[in-house]
Amino acid sequence: MINLFMQDGAQDVDPLLEDEPVEKTLSIIDLLMNGGLAGQIIILVLFVLLFIAVYIYFERLFAVKAASKMDGNFMNQIRDNVSSGNVQAAKALCIQQNSPVSRLTEKGISRIGSPLEDINTAIENAGRLEVYKLEKNVSVLATIAGAAPMIGFLGTVIGMVLAFHQLATSSGQAEMGTLAEGIYTAMTTTVAGLIVGIIAYMGYNHIVVKTDKVVHQMEATAVDFLDILNEPA
């Protein structure tokens, strides 16, 4: 009877547990790498664009931060040196600061004795050069922000074309599971492109805001320097 009980217990198995489907999981790496040759090429291009965008962002961020540093007493010292006629000391102070603001001021100091209009023109020309240096490679960020989503969408379109081509060549007998897998795998390129585009777009806007602050600082300094020259002796 013990054996019969054991046999009956062994056979008492819930048939629902036997037929329960096994959940299939897919990692992000597998999802990115299972898109075929065309999808892998698109993903590789997007990773390269992401690396370039991150590199340019941090390189420009550090450069703009360095350009925005200025001694709060800088213009007061320039005013004292210019008022006392010690032009060489004012130039030496500008060289020591070595910032866009100090370089603009040095350009104005080197034109002392010329008409104010000529001094203002020289400062404006120097300012354009400094702004060009600050905005170096920033346009690349804007290009990546616009191009990355389009490249990702291109990968999805290619994947969709290949999936429906498979359906057409099989006379409509292709398995829906295989077809659906090809479609969602192809759409991963659009997701990757949007991620790269969003990162590049946010980085571009942040750098532009930081650069504008430095430009306004240079404009304010140029106005202060011209006021110094207009002060009565």
pLDDT: is 66 or 39 the higher one? 66
Residues 6 or more apart whose CB falls under 8 angstroms from that of 36 comprise 159, 162, 185
Helix (H) or strand (E) holding 127: helix 116-134
Q: Judge contact between 102 and 71, C-beta under 8 A.
A: no
Per-residue pLDDT reduced to its tens digit, 98-146: 788 888 888 888 888 778 888 888 888 888 888 888 888 899 999 999 9
Q: Phi-psi category of 113—alpha, beta or left, where left has phi over 0 and alpha has psi -120 to 50?
A: left
pLDDT at 55 over 60: yes
Report residue 1's pLDDT band, with 50, 70 and 90 as the boundaries. Answer: very low
What does the alpha-carbon distance between residue 170 and residue 192 come to, in Å, rounded to a whole number?
Answer: 30
pLDDT at 22 over 50: no
Per-residue pLDDT reduced to its tens digit, 174-208: 566 556 666 766 778 888 899 999 999 999 999 99
| pTM for the predicted model, two decimal places | 0.75
What does the alpha-carbon distance between residue 221 and residue 130 come to, in Å, rounded to a whole number?
Answer: 14
pLDDT: is 14 or 189 the higher one? 189
- Which of 156, 133, 116 shows the shortest CA–CA distance to 218? 133
Report residue 32's pLDDT band, with 50, 70 and 90 as the boundaries. Answer: low
**pLDDT (0 to 100) of residue 18:** 46
pLDDT averaged over every residue in the chain: 78
